[in-house]
Amino acid sequence: MILTDIHSNWEALEAVAAAADGAYDEAICLGDVVGYGAAPREAVTWTRNNCRLVVRGNHDKAVCGLDAMEDFNIVAQAAVAWTRTQLSSEEILWLAGLDPGPLSHGEAEFAHGSPIDEDEYLVAAGDAEMVFENYDRPLCFVGHSHLQGGFCLAGGRVLRLPRPHAHQPEVLLPLEPDVCYLVNPGSVGQPRDGDPRAAYAIWDDEERQIRFRRVAYDTQRAARRILDAGLPPMLADRLAVGR
């Protein structure tokens, strides 16, 4: 199972863990365990106990002081400051010790933003094209954009990968030979593709296929905890719309 951008959303993470139970051998996290949401301790504890590999994200870096937060808006900065007050020094040290991507495991690599730059957003096909020009591994998993799917390079053309439609639980992507992939499992805790369901992916390295999955969770409960914590209300409001 590949998951990313959990962002301290325990309700979403719990739903993903339950839905994926029995469907995977190992979990790999592409970063941003914390930030935005109201459950940083639960997110850190689950990730430490369940993930074989964890790549660091920009919010993980910010919480432990390794990111100057130049790209952070005022809402993100407020969440970082609040998160610091919630974690033990030992948990902050764990975040500080996370490795930058890309990390290698089997056929694939794993990065937060892109395999070239850990803080880069891959949103448009042109962004992916620049990476494919400078990177020749067949498969890299990325997060950071909170957009499920990603891109492939097939016959010299960059194509967008599919994601489940609303109400569809999953989409199957068979990995073709001679095609390069930048695969985004989508965000667990703060999807931004208009689908409020938590996103993740199951990678079967033997069958060479990826299942992009979505699972509904209690967005109202996660939003209520954000408001109760005194975090900026927009962080609560966006969960119900997935933007």
Helix (H) or strand (E) holding 126: helix 125-134
We find the least distance from the C-beta atom of residue 29 to Zn ion, in angstroms, to be 12
Give the range of 5-13, 18-26, 107-115, 196-204 binding Zn ion by CB under 5 A: 5-13
Residues 129-188 binding Zn ion (CB under 5 A) are: none
Report the distance separating Cα 65 and Cα 156, nearest Å: 41
Residue 135, Cβ density class (10 Å: 0-12 exposed, 13-18 middle, ≥19 buried): middle
Residue 5 sits in the site that holds Zn ion (CB under 5 A): yes
Give the range of 29-37, 75-83, 101-109, 233-241 binding Zn ion by CB under 5 A: 29-37
Residue 138, Cβ density class (10 Å: 0-12 exposed, 13-18 middle, ≥19 buried): middle
Report the distance separating Cα 238 and Cα 162, nearest Å: 23
Residue 60 sits in the site that holds Zn ion (CB under 5 A): no
We find the least distance from the C-beta atom of residue 227 to Zn ion, in angstroms, to be 20
Q: Is 5 within 8 Å of 188 (Cβ atoms)?
A: yes
Question: Which residue of this chain has its Cβ atom nearest to Zn ion in the complex?
Answer: 32
Residue 120 sits in the site that holds Zn ion (CB under 5 A): no
We find the least distance from the C-beta atom of residue 138 to Zn ion, in angstroms, to be 25
Cα dihedral angle (174, 179, 180, 184), rounded to 10 degrees? -30
Residue 32 sits in the site that holds Zn ion (CB under 5 A): yes
Give the range of 4-12, 101-109, 176-184, 230-238 binding Zn ion by CB under 5 A: 4-12
Residues making contact with Zn ion (CB under 5 A): 5, 32
